[in-house]
């Protein structure tokens, strides 16, 4: 699969019906994952509010993990050092351990697991890793799936806007800053990591209303203010949209508002995700870098081994 096919594969991934059968009464959920697999837990956590969800993007799991914890290890390759360590620790603490992976050591370590198709970049498998979480908690209906599919299809058909943006970023060597808001704060982080891995550029993120307590000052008064390109996700919360409007006004900033064609959670979620897929893919092509290349990350893993 070439990288464009990988991006378009997201449409197929959302059709995954796999789910975990969880037949016990747990107190909390701990989700361990790094990078493109780690953002899965963070996206889920912002939406699922029925139990405490703690995400771990690190070595080491919290002390409270015990037999009343549902521990979910997510690693696309199945060989992520931090996630394997944490999964082992969770087993030792007696947690109910499940895993999402395409193979590797994680597959052999965990009995209750969902195996997803291998062979693409981990960051291109976001749909495959995310849907089992939604399915397990019955959060997505067939009608909603149709909606997501239509949304993704329309993005696949029409990404001139992202191409134009990518040119603008390239021509000005802009540093992208993405401002999200709940339940899409982690999607702003996903944008950042897609810029990092696909286009090999720096990108940074924050969220409303938190940034009204800090980044609002440099928006008005920092040096290099003209060297950033500000992306802001339009919110469903009128109070947050008011903050966005006033923040632009009083700091003199020009925000690029990203408006989803639909406010329905799943449509908006995947619209925002897919927008950055194409934007960062196009930026890679314009910069003449290979969007699939993560050789520096691979080199690090080898030197650590």
- 197 as an active site residue: the answer is yes
Q: What is the DSSP string of 184-210?
A: SHHHHHHHHHHIIIII----EEEETTG
Tell me how far apart the alpha carbons of residues 51 and 136 are, in angstroms, rounded to a whole number: 14
Contacts of 143 (CB under 8 A, 6+ apart): none
Q: Please choose, out of 61-69, 97-105, 149-157, 263-271, the segment that lies near a second copy by the rule CB under 8 A.
A: 61-69
Least CB distance to a second copy at residue 301 (A): 8
Least CB distance to a second copy at residue 172 (A): 10
Of 79, 149, 156, 218, the one binding a second copy by CB under 8 A: 218
Q: Do β-strands 204-207 and 96-101 pair in parallel, antiparallel, or remain unpaired?
A: unpaired
Tell me how far apart the alpha carbons of residues 33 and 73 are, in angstroms, rounded to a whole number: 6
Edge-to-edge strand order for the sheet containing 204-207? 204-207, 175-180, 228-233, 255-258
- 12 as an active site residue: the answer is no
Q: Determine how many CB atoms are found less than 10 A away from the CB of residue 190.
A: 25
Of 22, 145, 175, 285, the one binding a second copy by CB under 8 A: 175
- 96 as an active site residue: the answer is no
If the CB atoms of residues 63 and 143 are measured against a second copy, the closer one turns out to be: 63
49 binds a second copy (CB under 8 A): yes
CA dist 216 → 36, 57, 97, 244 (Å): 29, 28, 42, 11
Least CB distance to a second copy at residue 303 (A): 5
Tell me how far apart the alpha carbons of residues 163 and 133 are, in angstroms, rounded to a whole number: 32
94 binds a second copy (CB under 8 A): no
Backbone φ and ψ of 79, nearest 5°:
-125, 20
- Catalytic position from the list 17, 213, 249, 303: 213
Q: Please choose, out of 55-63, 141-149, 154-162, 273-281, the segment that lies near a second copy by the rule CB under 8 A.
A: 55-63
Q: Please choose, out of 87-95, 143-151, 193-201, 271-279, the segment that lies near a second copy by the rule CB under 8 A.
A: 193-201
Residue 134 burial class via C-beta count within 10 angstroms: exposed 0-12, middle 13-18, buried 19 and up: buried
Least CB distance to a second copy at residue 55 (A): 11
Least CB distance to a second copy at residue 283 (A): 11
Least CB distance to a second copy at residue 234 (A): 16
160 binds a second copy (CB under 8 A): no
If the CB atoms of residues 206 and 267 are measured against a second copy, the closer one turns out to be: 206
Of 95, 110, 162, 219, the one binding a second copy by CB under 8 A: 219
Secondary structure of residue 31 in the 3-state scheme: strand
Residues 234-293 that bind a second copy (CB under 8 A): 237, 239-240, 242-243, 246-247, 249-251, 289
Q: Which residues are catalytic?
A: 197, 213, 301
């Amino acid at each position: 699969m070439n990288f464009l096919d990988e991006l378009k594969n997201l449409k197929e991934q959302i059709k995954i019906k796999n789910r975990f059968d969880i037949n016990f009464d747990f107190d909390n959920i701990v989700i361990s994952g790094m990078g493109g697999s780690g953002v899965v837990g963070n996206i889920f956590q912002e939406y699922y509010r029925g139990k405490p969800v703690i995400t771990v993007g690190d070595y080491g799991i919290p002390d409270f993990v015990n037999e009343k914890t549902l521990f979910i290890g997510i690693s696309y390759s199945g060989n992520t050092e931090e996630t394997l360590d944490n999964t082992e620790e969770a087993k030792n603490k007696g947690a109910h351990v499940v895993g999402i992976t395409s193979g590797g050591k994680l597959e052999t370590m965990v009995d209750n697991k969902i195996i997803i198709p291998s062979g693409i970049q981990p960051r291109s498998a976001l749909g495959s890793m995310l849907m089992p979480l939604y399915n397990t908690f019955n959060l997505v209906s067939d009608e909603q799936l149709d909606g997501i599919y239509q949304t993704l299809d329309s993005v696949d058909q029409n990404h001139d806007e992202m191409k134009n943006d990518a040119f603008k970023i390239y021509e000005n060597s802009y540093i992208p800053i993405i401002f999200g808001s709940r339940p899409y704060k982690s999607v702003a982080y996903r944008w950042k990591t897609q810029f990092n891995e696909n286009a090999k550029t720096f990108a940074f993120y924050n969220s409303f209303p938190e940034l009204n307590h800090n980044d609002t000052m440099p928006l008005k008064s920092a040096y290099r203010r003209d060297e950033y390109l500000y992306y802001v996700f339009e919110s469903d919360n009128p109070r947050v949209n008011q903050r966005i409007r006033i923040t632009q006004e009083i700091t003199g900033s020009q925000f690029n508002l990203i408006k989803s064609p639909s406010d329905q959670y799943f449509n908006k979620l995947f619209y925002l995700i897919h927008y950055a897929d194409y934007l960062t893919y196009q930026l890679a092509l314009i910069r003449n870098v290979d969007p699939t290349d993560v050789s520096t990350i691979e080199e690090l893993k080898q030197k650590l081994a």
